[in-house]
Amino acid sequence: MSLRSLLALLALVVLSGCGSGSALSQAVIDQATRQGVAPDLIYVVDLPGYELAEQSVGGVNEEGFGAVYTAPDGKQVEMRVDRGPYTCAGTCERDGDGWYTEHEGRQEYAAVRPDHYVRLICPAGQVDRAVLKKAAEGARPAVGDGTPAPPPSPVERGDLPENGDGAPIQPTGPGG
């Protein structure tokens, strides 16, 4: 293998991992859909210094999606994705394709899409406004094939009779 081919292969391997740190596992996607989240609203963002806390993933409102990104020092940024028109509370400024808001000590950037919006929310000043905007506007659907995993098979108990009332077989012992 030539040096040029080796370098191209190495670049492909390194670049294939870029941006994949915040992808959701299929198990977490399945969990969210079982909670009523619409699969097309399950998103991830790239937020420098923060990682997705998979245990935080869940439903918001009727079919929306929510998750929390955490920093090593314990700071958190909440992400919410939902349908409908975006309504702003507090001081709102149009910024690109979305809205920047400050209200009650919190800041938020909402990237507005044709049929839904992606919001990133945190305490005011915790994340630079431009970084928050870039992350929200760069939100992308979570990795997954969109097909939920099949439910687990029932457990074979072995103590249920094949006929009768279906009560477990409980042989009597001494004294009973």
Order of strands across the sheet that contains 106-112: 51-60, 64-70, 76-83, 116-123, 106-112, 98-103, 91-95
Interatomic CA distance for residues 28 and 54, integer angstroms: 7
pTM of the model: 0.70
Q: What type of residue is 10? A: L
- Distances in Å between the alpha carbon of 148 and those of 22, 30, 33, 65, 100? 19, 6, 8, 16, 35
Q: Could you state, in order of their start, the residue ranges of all structural domains in the chain?
A: 21-140
Q: 121 near 108, Cβ under 8 Å?
A: yes
CA 168 from chain centre, in angstroms, equals 42
Got the DSSP string for 6-56? HHHHHHHHHHHTTT-TTPPPHHHHHHHHHTT--GGG-EE---TT-EEEEEE
Distance in angstroms (rounded) separating the CA atoms of residues 59 and 27: 15
> What are the pLDDT tens digits along the chain (176 aa)?
443 433 333 333 333 333 334 578 888 999 999 999 999 999 999 999 999 999 999 999 999 999 999 999 999 999 999 998 888 888 889 998 899 999 999 999 999 999 999 999 999 999 999 999 999 999 999 865 555 556 667 777 766 667 777 676 677 777 76
Structurally, at CATH architecture level, domain 21-140 sits in 3-Layer(aba) Sandwich (3.40)
